[in-house]
Amino acid sequence: MLEDMNPDKTGFTFPCLAIERVREHPDSTDEDVKLMREYLADANWGAKRLVTALRKKGIKLHTDSIIRHREKRCPCWKT
């Protein structure tokens, strides 16, 4: 049954958890996703400060997700 499996990941994209949390919010727009990408790239937004601001908007995210993204250890960097 499992003999035809292979580890090929061609065409498979890994989501960025930080971006996905913004997309999942019912009031989210494409502009919000664009802004989140900017916030992730902005060193002035510390991970804790960004998480706190997002939580006030109803988006739950852990600081580790932001840190992983900034250190390029986020799954979205592996595509």
Give the start-to-end residue ranges of the domains of the chain: 17-22+30-78
Ranges assigned E (strand) in 5-49: none
pLDDT of residue 63: 96
Spatial CA neighbour of 74 closest among 25, 64, 44, 7: 64
For 29-67, how does the pLDDT look when each residue is reduced to its tens digit (9 = 90+)? 999 999 999 999 999 999 999 999 999 999 999 999 999
Q: Kindly report the pTM of this predicted structure.
A: 0.77
* pLDDT of residue 12 exceeding 60: no
Q: Which two tokens stand for residue 1?
A: 């049954």
d(CA 2, CA 27) in angstroms, rounded, equals 42
Question: Six-digit token pair at 68?
Answer: 């992983």
Quickly state the pLDDT bin for 5 (edges 50, 70, 90): confident
Question: Sorting pLDDT into bands at 50, 70 and 90, what band is 77?
Answer: confident
